[in-house]
Amino acid sequence: MPHPRITLLAGPTASGKSRLALEWAERRGAVILNADSQQLYGDLRILTARPTLADEARAEHRLYGVADAAEAWSVGRWTRAVMAELEQLGGRPALIVGGTGLYFSALTRGLADIPDVPASERDAAASVFDADGEPALRRRLRDGDPVSEAAIKPGDRQRLVRALAVLTHTGRPLSRWVAETRPLLSQGDYDAWVLEPAREALYAACDARVEAMVEAGALVEVEGLLRRRLDPELPAMKAVGVREFAEVIRGTTELTAAVGRVQQATRNYAKRQLTWFRNQTPDWPRRPITGN
Between 290 and 77, the more confident residue is: 77
Distance, CA of 79 to CA of 75 (rounded, Å): 6
289 lies in some domain: no
Q: Are residues 170 and 229 in the same domain?
A: no
Task: Provide CB contacts within 8 A for 152, sequence distance 6+.
Answer: 159, 160, 163
102 lies in some domain: yes
Beta-carbon-side half-sphere exposure of residue 195 (alpha carbons within 13 Å): 25
Q: Are residues 232 and 160 in the same domain?
A: no
- Last residue of some domain: 142, 167, 195? 195
Which range among 55-59, 168-172, 183-187 shows the weakest confidence by mean pLDDT?
A: 183-187
How many structural domains is the chain composed of?
Answer: 3
Domain around 239: 199-275
Q: What is the CATH number of the domain that holds 138?
A: 1.10.20.140
Q: What is the CATH number of the domain that holds 213?
A: 1.10.287.890
Q: Are residues 46 and 190 in the same domain?
A: yes
Average pLDDT, the chain: 93
- What mean pLDDT do residues 46-53 have? 96
Q: Are residues 23 and 97 in the same domain?
A: yes
Q: Are 281 and 10 in contact (CB under 8 A)?
A: yes
Q: Quote the pLDDT of residue 178.
A: 82
- What mean pLDDT do residues 57-74 have? 96
| Residue among 127, 113, 267 nearest 176 (CA) | 113
> Where would I find the H helices in 59-115?
75-89, 101-108
Q: Binning pLDDT at 50, 70 and 90, where does residue 25 land?
A: very high
Q: What is the CATH number of the domain that holds 11?
A: 3.40.50.300
Q: Quote the pLDDT of residue 113.
A: 73
Q: Are 41 and 236 in contact (CB under 8 A)?
A: yes
Answer yes or no: is pLDDT of 69 > 60: yes
pLDDT in tens, 117-160: 898 999 999 999 999 999 999 999 999 999 999 999 999 998 89
- What mean pLDDT do residues 4-24 have? 94
pLDDT in tens, 78-129: 999 999 999 999 889 999 999 999 999 999 998 877 888 898 999 999 999 9
Q: Are residues 95 and 128 in the same domain?
A: no
Answer yes or no: is pLDDT of 32 > 50: yes
Tell me the three state secondary structure of residue 263.
Answer: helix
286 lies in some domain: no
Q: Are residues 174 and 212 in the same domain?
A: no
- What mean pLDDT do residues 34-61 have? 96
List the strands of the sheet with 190-195, edge to edge: 61-62, 31-34, 94-98, 6-10, 190-195, 286-287
pLDDT in tens, 233-278: 899 999 999 999 999 999 999 999 999 999 999 999 999 999 999 9
Q: Quote the pLDDT of residue 288.
A: 56
Q: What is the DSSP letter of 64?
A: S
Q: Are residues 241 and 162 in the same domain?
A: no
Residues in the chain: 292
285 lies in some domain: no
- What mean pLDDT do residues 7-14 have? 96
281 lies in some domain: no
CA angle 286, 288, 292 (to 5 degrees): 115
- What mean pLDDT do residues 5-11 have? 95
Q: Quote the pLDDT of residue 35.
A: 98
Q: To the nearest whole percent, how much of the chain has pLDDT over 90?
A: 86
SS3 for 179-240, per residue? Answer: HCCCCCCCHHHEEEEEECCCHHHHHHHHHHHHHHHHHHCHHHHHHHHHHCCCCCCCHHHHCC
Answer yes or no: is pLDDT of 290 > 80: no
Q: Are residues 97 and 190 in the same domain?
A: yes
223 lies in some domain: yes
Distance, CA of 73 to CA of 40 (rounded, Å): 8
132 lies in some domain: yes
Q: Are residues 159 and 61 in the same domain?
A: no
Q: Quote the pLDDT of residue 100.
A: 97
Tell me the three state secondary structure of residue 290.
Answer: coil
Q: Are residues 234 and 266 in the same domain?
A: yes
Q: Are residues 129 and 207 in the same domain?
A: no
Q: Are residues 209 and 229 in the same domain?
A: yes
Between 45 and 177, the more confident residue is: 45
Q: Quote the pLDDT of residue 114.
A: 80
Beta-carbon-side half-sphere exposure of residue 210 (alpha carbons within 13 Å): 26
Radius of gyration (C-alpha) of the chain in whole angstroms: 21
Q: How far is CA 271 from CA 122, 267, 280, in A?
A: 32, 6, 14
CA max distance for the chain: 62
65 lies in some domain: yes
Q: Binning pLDDT at 50, 70 and 90, where does residue 4 land?
A: low
Answer yes or no: is pLDDT of 289 > 70: no
Between 1 and 122, the more confident residue is: 122
